[in-house]
A and B are shown apart, each in its own frame.
Chain A
Amino acid sequence: MIGMRRRKQAVAERGRSPDRTEGPGLKVEDLTLYFRSTAGVVQAVEGVSFELVRGRSLTIIGESGCGKTSLARAILRLLPKNVHTYRGRVFLNGVDVMKFGDERFRKDVRWTRMSMVSQAAMNALTPVVKVGYQVAEPLMLDHVGKKEAYRKAREVFNLVGVPEAFMDRYAFELSGGMRQRAILAMALITDPDIVILDEPTSALDVLTQANIMNTLKKIKQDLGLSFMLITHDIATSSELADEGICMYAGQLVEHSDGQRFYREPLHPYSQKLMASVPTLHIEKKPEFIPGQPPSLINPPTGCRFAARCHRRFERCDEEPPLFEHGEETVKCWLYETG
């Protein structure tokens, strides 16, 4: 019951959020990232395009290994050494930041305009420096004075719900949830436009997860920034989503409005994925998808999901383009128009 009420409330909040406008935000065009490996070239991210207006939030769901984290890293240009191909365009507030050199990107984009809370945030704080310094550090790198940086750090500590006294502590003296919040504070301190959250709650217990999700919702409302939430946790993520993206085998297969996405997804894969979420009160058996995602080293031609798809037909041997379906885009022949 409580869940239902919360969902309604979330829907109401979403209703108030601004409509799509040509304003500040993130636009990704044909972003592609391949890695070299001993077995061959891994096509981790393949031609992903989407647009996210500032103030709206986006969730990206998909199975493990479908390229969600790689997409985040490609956007923030946090690449390992074995990159094979890295191309595409990333517009931030209308400026193509892919054209920036590494040094300019580091100074003007990464963490200043776009920050990230990474997957393994539990160990992401160094044990030998006080938490407060680590949180204030991004500002000090921007040549903000130490005093001002600490003042701002106190502000974001309050914002994310960590007592100010914790600034003087070390990471190992904080609980997992507090550490996660401290990193969130670090991500917010530069007033970025976009914060990418890469499975921010997957290492935490359910109560702490809910707590942090509520904090995120509040922050989103107060600051009007955009969250890009990458997660496996479909149930929890639905509360934050203005829009939803589903990825499969390195490709974007569906980009829909949040309500639509979680209620009646379009792509057969999204449908199956939503159906796999166990529900507590409704008599419904969680479904699973037979088989496993294809290898990204030699992905199948045609639709990559075809082999596991319950609605497969002849057209699926060809690769589908992204079809417009009302407001939504979906990469599936079922929605072929005209």
Chain B
Amino acid sequence: MKGALSRLGKYTGMRLVFLLLSVVVAVYLTVIIANMGGELDRIVEAQIRHEVNLQYALDPELQRLPPDQRQAMIDETIELELRKRGMDRPFFPQRSLDFLGEALSLQLGRARLITSDTHSFQVSAIILERLPATLILFGTAEILLFFFTLLMALFLSRRYGSVLDKLFISLAPTSAAPGWFYGIFLIMIFAAALRVLPWGGMAPSGVQMGFNWEFVSQLLRHMILPVTAILLSAVFAGVYSSRTFFLIYSMEDHVELAKAKGLSSRGIERKYILRPTLPPIITGFLMLLISMWMGQIVLETVFNWPGLGQVFYQAIVMNETAVIVGVIVVFGYLLCATVFILDFLYAILDPRVRVGIGGGR
């Protein structure tokens, strides 16, 4: 027992090291890419030079100074500005590694141009402000999607070949189009033509955000179209693939034996189909959970949803390195934690994995 525990500890430690290593690599790559491999520093430096020169050119007091002295003062100011931003040192390796360290320790720093609604340049404030909107939209959609897919797939695998089954199979290719594609049509139909649902946003302006009836009801009204769009884009292919998965699994010999043993079809489904297929199902669910943290850039834009996807898009367009790295590092940690939890869930759910971790007999 003690040996098994120490093995378990060793396994857990190794797993954590590798996961964290992959987060480090991912964040470092993001730092390099978001800074354009150091090129961004030169753009910023040119901007600073331009601004300082402009400042000196426009100041009549300074214009009277002799050119040599003036140039010296300009150079000194630029030098100071650069040093203030740490740009006097080369991007590789010092500055990029500094960025990496700050990102990993979640000192997400300040944005240059983007602010939160409360006019803060703090990246953490910007992310935290946008996160609830994204979580509530994608959380609702993904949870609905997950449970509907699971139950529908089980239902269809029980009666494959039925009309409903054929309908889902033939509609599966519609999932090739992304959610925003259906979103546009939904807006056209329900907002533009029928005028029964809002065009976009979370709530009309003037409604106080928070747990009051007016806001919640407005939020639900505004969520109908985007949630439907997400569901439309994913549900048919999801049901199709899960249903095939269950169908293949229900032909396994031990399911056959369970049938022969006289288990009810519900009992067979619970113990002999769902139970052994639980690990991949849980994986699917947890991956859905973390994928919804990022939001969807285009969908949030189409529905003017004030979420993380939208701000991520702005950050990319405006070269807002700090925000890009901030979003990625939060996401990276979440992914890492999810995979780590999954490892343990697998061990609990699947004895083959558990015995492997325990070192077998």
* CB atoms of B261 and A127 under 8 A apart: no
Q: Give residues 94-126 of A contacting B (CB, 8 Å).
A: 106-107, 110-112, 115-116, 118, 120-126
Residue of A116, A121, A128 touching B349 (CB-CB under 8 A): A128
Please give, as numbers and ranges, the residues of chain A lying within 8 Å of B275 by CB-CB distance.
Answer: 126, 128-129
Interface assignment of B271: CB less than 8 Å from any CB of chain A: yes
Q: How far apart are the CA atoms of A111 and B263 in the complex, in Å? A: 10
Interface assignment of A183: CB less than 8 Å from any CB of chain B: yes
Residue of B with least CB distance to A183: B257
Residue of B254, B260, B264, B272 touching A78 (CB-CB under 8 A): B260
Contact with B along A126-145 (1 / 0, CB 8 A): 11111000000110010000
Q: How far apart are the CA atoms of A123 and B252 in the complex, in Å? A: 8
* CB atoms of A124 and B262 under 8 A apart: no
Stretch at the interface among B51-59, B302-310, B350-358: B350-358
* CB atoms of A111 and B349 under 8 A apart: no
Residue of A118, A128, A141 touching B257 (CB-CB under 8 A): A118
Known: A170-B352, A170-B355, A173-B361. A125 touches B254 (CB 8 A): yes
Interface assignment of B359: CB less than 8 Å from any CB of chain A: no
Among A124, A126, A138, find the residue whose CB has the most chain B CB atoms closer than 10 A.
A126
Please give, as numbers and ranges, the residues of chain B lying within 8 Å of A170 by CB-CB distance.
Answer: 351-352, 355
Residue of B with least CB distance to A78: B260
Interface assignment of B98: CB less than 8 Å from any CB of chain A: no
Instruction: Tell me, rounded to whole Å, the shortest Cβ–Cβ distance linking A9 to chain B.
Output: 33
* CB atoms of B256 and A124 under 8 A apart: yes
* CB atoms of A123 and B260 under 8 A apart: no
Known: A120-B253, A124-B254, A173-B355. A137 touches B259 (CB 8 A): no
* CB atoms of A118 and B272 under 8 A apart: no
* CB atoms of A118 and B260 under 8 A apart: yes
Please give, as numbers and ranges, the residues of chain A lying within 8 Å of B9 by CB-CB distance.
Answer: none
* CB atoms of B259 and A141 under 8 A apart: no
Among B252, B260, B261, find the residue whose CB has the most chain A CB atoms closer than 10 A.
B260
* CB atoms of B256 and A172 under 8 A apart: no
Please give, as numbers and ranges, the residues of chain B lying within 8 Å of A122 by CB-CB distance.
Answer: 253
Residue of B161, B254, B361 touching A126 (CB-CB under 8 A): B254
Please give, as numbers and ranges, the residues of chain A lying within 8 Å of B349 by CB-CB distance.
Answer: 128
Q: Give residues 127-172 of A contacting B (CB, 8 Å).
A: 127-130, 137-138, 141, 170, 172
Residue of A with least CB distance to B251: A80
Residue of A107, A110, A126 touching B260 (CB-CB under 8 A): A110
Interface assignment of A296: CB less than 8 Å from any CB of chain B: no
Interface assignment of A186: CB less than 8 Å from any CB of chain B: yes
Please give, as numbers and ranges, the residues of chain A lying within 8 Å of B271 by CB-CB distance.
Answer: 126, 129
Instruction: Tell me, rounded to whole Å, the shortest Cβ–Cβ distance linking B146 to chain A.
Output: 21
Interface assignment of B204: CB less than 8 Å from any CB of chain A: no
* CB atoms of A126 and B352 under 8 A apart: no
Q: Give residues 55-76 of A contacting B (CB, 8 Å).
A: 76
* CB atoms of B260 and A116 under 8 A apart: yes
Please give, as numbers and ranges, the residues of chain A lying within 8 Å of B252 by CB-CB distance.
Answer: 123
Residue of B262, B264, B352 touching A127 (CB-CB under 8 A): B352
Please give, as numbers and ranges, the residues of chain B lying within 8 Å of A106 by CB-CB distance.
Answer: 262, 264
* CB atoms of A111 and B352 under 8 A apart: no
Interface size, chain B (Cβ < 8 Å): 24
Instruction: Tell me, rounded to whole Å, the shortest Cβ–Cβ distance linking B357 to chain A.
Output: 14
Q: How far apart are the CA atoms of A138 and B352 in the complex, in Å? A: 24
* CB atoms of A128 and B261 under 8 A apart: no
Known: A126-B276, A128-B350, A172-B352. A118 touches B261 (CB 8 A): no
Q: How far apart are the CA atoms of A311 and B263 in the complex, in Å? A: 49
Please give, as numbers and ranges, the residues of chain B lying within 8 Å of A129 by CB-CB distance.
Answer: 271, 275
Among B257, B267, B272, B352, find the residue whose CB has the most chain A CB atoms closer than 10 A.
B257
Residue of B with least CB distance to A170: B351
Please give, as numbers and ranges, the residues of chain B lying within 8 Å of A186 by CB-CB distance.
Answer: 257, 261
Among B252, B261, B271, find the residue whose CB has the most chain A CB atoms closer than 10 A.
B261
* CB atoms of B262 and A138 under 8 A apart: yes
* CB atoms of B355 and A112 under 8 A apart: no
Q: How far apart are the CA atoms of A194 and B276 in the complex, in Å? A: 31
Q: How far apart are the CA atoms of A173 and B271 in the complex, in Å? A: 20
* CB atoms of A112 and B253 under 8 A apart: no
Please give, as numbers and ranges, the residues of chain A lying within 8 Å of B361 by CB-CB distance.
Answer: 173
Known: A123-B253, A128-B350, A129-B271. A76 touches B260 (CB 8 A): yes
Instruction: Tell me, rounded to whole Å, the shortest Cβ–Cβ distance linking B268 to chain A.
Output: 10
Please give, as numbers and ranges, the residues of chain B lying within 8 Å of A137 by CB-CB distance.
Answer: 261, 263
Q: How far apart are the CA atoms of A126 and B355 in the complex, in Å? A: 16
Instruction: Tell me, rounded to whole Å, the shortest Cβ–Cβ distance linking B116 to chain A.
Output: 48
Instruction: Tell me, rounded to whole Å, the shortest Cβ–Cβ distance linking B133 to chain A.
Output: 40
Q: How far apart are the CA atoms of A115 and B260 in the complex, in Å? A: 8
Residue of B with least CB distance to A120: B253
* CB atoms of B262 and A111 under 8 A apart: yes
Q: Give residues 192-248 of B contacting A (CB, 8 Å).
A: none
* CB atoms of B253 and A124 under 8 A apart: yes
Instruction: Tell me, rounded to whole Å, the shortest Cβ–Cβ distance linking B279 to chain A.
Output: 9
Please give, as numbers and ranges, the residues of chain A lying within 8 Å of B260 by CB-CB distance.
Answer: 76, 78, 110-111, 115-116, 118
Please give, as numbers and ranges, the residues of chain B lying within 8 Å of A81 by CB-CB distance.
Answer: 161
Q: How far apart are the CA atoms of A307 and B275 in the complex, in Å? A: 51
Instruction: Tell me, rounded to whole Å, the shortest Cβ–Cβ distance linking A203 to chain B.
Output: 11
Instruction: Tell me, rounded to whole Å, the shortest Cβ–Cβ distance linking B252 to chain A.
Output: 7
Please give, as numbers and ranges, the residues of chain A lying within 8 Å of B262 by CB-CB distance.
Answer: 106-107, 110-112, 138, 141
Q: Give residues 320-361 of B contacting A (CB, 8 Å).
A: 349-352, 355, 361
Instruction: Tell me, rounded to whole Å, the shortest Cβ–Cβ distance linking A109 to chain B.
Output: 9
Please give, as numbers and ranges, the residues of chain B lying within 8 Å of A138 by CB-CB distance.
Answer: 261-262
Residue of B with least CB distance to A108: B262
Q: How far apart are the CA atoms of A8 and B349 in the complex, in Å? A: 52
The 6 closest A-B pairs by CB, nearest first: A123-B253, A126-B254, A124-B257, A111-B262, A124-B253, A120-B253
Can you list 15 pairs linking A and B with CB atoms under 8 Å apart? A107-B262, A110-B260, A118-B256, A123-B252, A124-B256, A126-B271, A127-B276, A128-B276, A128-B349, A130-B351, A141-B267, A170-B355, A172-B351, A172-B352, A173-B361
Residues of chain B having any CB pair with chain A under 8 Å? 161, 252-254, 256-264, 267, 271-272, 275-276, 349-352, 355, 361
Given contacts A78-B260, A141-B263, A173-B361, 10 further A-B contacts (CB under 8 A): A107-B262, A111-B262, A112-B262, A122-B253, A124-B257, A125-B254, A126-B271, A128-B350, A128-B351, A129-B275
